[in-house]
Amino acid sequence: MSLLDKFDALEATRRELLGHGTNPTDVIVERVISATESVIGGKPTIMAGTNNYLGLTFDPECIAAGKRALDEAGTGTTGSRMANGNYASHAELEREIANFYGYPYAMVFSTGYAANIGTMSALVGPGDAVMLDGDAHASLFDGSKLSGATVYRFKHNDAESLDKRLRRLGEVASRTLVIVEGLYSILGDRAPLKELAEVTRAHDACLFVDEAHSLGVLGETGRGRVEEDQVEADFVVGTFSKSLGSTGGFCVSPHRALTLFRYASRPYMFTASPCPSVIATTRAALVQLRARPELRESLWRNAERLYSGLAQLGFTLGPEPSPVVAVRMTSREQALANWQQLLDNGVYINLILPPAAPDGTALLRCSVSAAHTPEQIDRIIEAFRQLPRDPGQRE
């Protein structure tokens, strides 16, 4: 048995995925036409699986800011924040993010993934505990592993399950980081944040909320689930790669200790800082997010239109309308075949196969953008209508 033998299984999976035409994990976007359309396989395709919630990737202000930064500061920083890569614009973005959330402290990371593993691994270690929602994103599991803390899971969105598990931890509960997402990335359901926060406080544990899919999406001013449920979390993390249309991640906190994570977080210290143009487009996108609530309104109109259209066709969907619309499939094979048919009909969505879907089922995951037109949403619904009927799949 050599180190390379395990790749035989991966090769078999790759071949199975290829069996239906396009390998869903290997789609090439040949040309980007707009925030909602690309050319794939030589054909204009509606992009309905991009997380581009506010449709800001082609915003003229963001593009102009990125071009200016390229001219003024060059293509990259060629160093980490601890060394030569700590530009004034990184610090300004941190101030702007902190100000947006109304928290005193903020840190910017090179990706959302790095923000999660970087914050978690600085905060907890051996002898501490991490209590994760069962549906938490892979980066949160990876952050738990990297931290060396003991990892526990509680039942998805279940405050009673969290309470029971924290009770069992005894005095370790006060050294426990409770990790939840504001809006879950696969089924598009919200966390019952107020209840989860109350339980966390009752056990003197710390609350960590990943708002990757809720920044710009939920809350009166787009601050996410913490704003919607009026909860002050100990740590709020998020990404710039979804509603802000760039790359990077952040953590904000009311705790001064966050300023010291810069000396304790290896995923912060040992990687290059974000390029100046990325910081510039992110800052411009944050201005748009704050100034144009109508983007959030269009996003939700589109989300409701897609959710109700697919529900009327009889598909089994995620628990509530949201910009993430999950369509349940009866089998992996059916999901693969339907994903391919949708692509052939000019609609790109995400294929989620077991074990990635929460309860081990297969899903077709759509994500909606403020930039979709009602006609595009109707074309997505029409493409779903043309899928073969399967009595097990539709209610």
Ligand X SMILES: Cc1ncc(COP(=O)(O)O)c(C=O)c1O
Cβ distance to ligand X smaller for residue 238 or 309: 238
Cβ distance to ligand X smaller for residue 210 or 234: 210
Kindly identify the residues of this chain, within the stretch 58-77, that bind ligand X according to CB under 6 A.
Answer: none
Among 59, 133, 135, 210, binds ligand X (CB under 6 A): 210
| DSSP summary character for residue 26 | S
Kindly identify the residues of this chain, within the stretch 105-124, that bind ligand X according to CB under 6 A.
Answer: 111-113, 116
| Count of other CB atoms within 10 angstroms of residue 13 | 12
Pairing mode, if any, of strands 105-109 and 249-253? antiparallel
Q: Does 186 bind ligand X (CB under 6 A)?
A: no
Residue 242 bears catalytic tag: yes
Cβ distance to ligand X smaller for residue 185 or 200: 185
Among 181, 227, 228, 234, binds ligand X (CB under 6 A): 181
Q: Distance from CA of residue 225 to its chain's centroid?
A: 13
Q: d(Cα 293, Cα 28) in Å, to the nearest integer? A: 33
Q: With contacts defined by CB under 6 A, how many residues of the chain interact with ligand X?
A: 14
Maximum Cα interatomic distance, the chain, rounded to a whole number of Å? 60
Residue 213 bears catalytic tag: yes
Two structure tokens written together for 223: 């601050």
Buried/exposed 206-244: b ≥16 CB within 10 Å, e otherwise = bbbbbbbbbbbbbbeebbbbbbbbebebbbbbbbbbbbb
| Count of other CB atoms within 10 angstroms of residue 267 | 23
Q: Does residue 126 have a cis bond before it (omega within 30 degrees)?
A: no
Cβ distance to ligand X smaller for residue 137 or 328: 137
Q: Which candidate in 90, 137, 203, 213 is catalytic?
A: 213
Two structure tokens written together for 263: 């000396």
Q: Does 273 bind ligand X (CB under 6 A)?
A: no
Residue 131's beta-bridge partner residues?
Answer: 152, 178
**Shortest distance, CB of residue 312 to ligand X, whole angstroms?**
28
Q: Distance from CA of residue 28 to its chain's centroid?
A: 21
Q: How many residues does the chain have?
A: 395
**Shortest distance, CB of residue 249 to ligand X, whole angstroms?**
6
Q: Which candidate in 90, 203, 242, 372 is catalytic?
A: 242
Residue 185 bears catalytic tag: yes
Region near ligand X per CB under 6 A, out of 210-218, 226-234, 290-298, 316-324: 210-218
**Shortest distance, CB of residue 383 to ligand X, whole angstroms?**
24
272 CB-contact burial (10 Å; exposed 0-12 / middle 13-18 / buried 19+): middle
List Cβ neighbours of 286 (8 Å cut-off, separation of 6 or more).
Answer: 93, 96, 97, 100, 244
Q: d(Cα 70, Cα 84) in Å, to the nearest integer? A: 17
**Shortest distance, CB of residue 339 to ligand X, whole angstroms?**
18
**Contact characters 324-353, ligand X, x per CB under 6 A:** ------------------------------
Q: Does 249 bind ligand X (CB under 6 A)?
A: yes
**Shortest distance, CB of residue 2 to ligand X, whole angstroms?**
32
**Contact characters 117-156, ligand X, x per CB under 6 A:** --------------------x-x-----------------
**Shortest distance, CB of residue 154 to ligand X, whole angstroms?**
17
Active site residues: 185, 213, 242
Please give the residue ranges that form the binding site for ligand X (CB under 6 A). 111-113, 116, 137, 139, 181, 185, 210, 212-213, 239, 241, 249
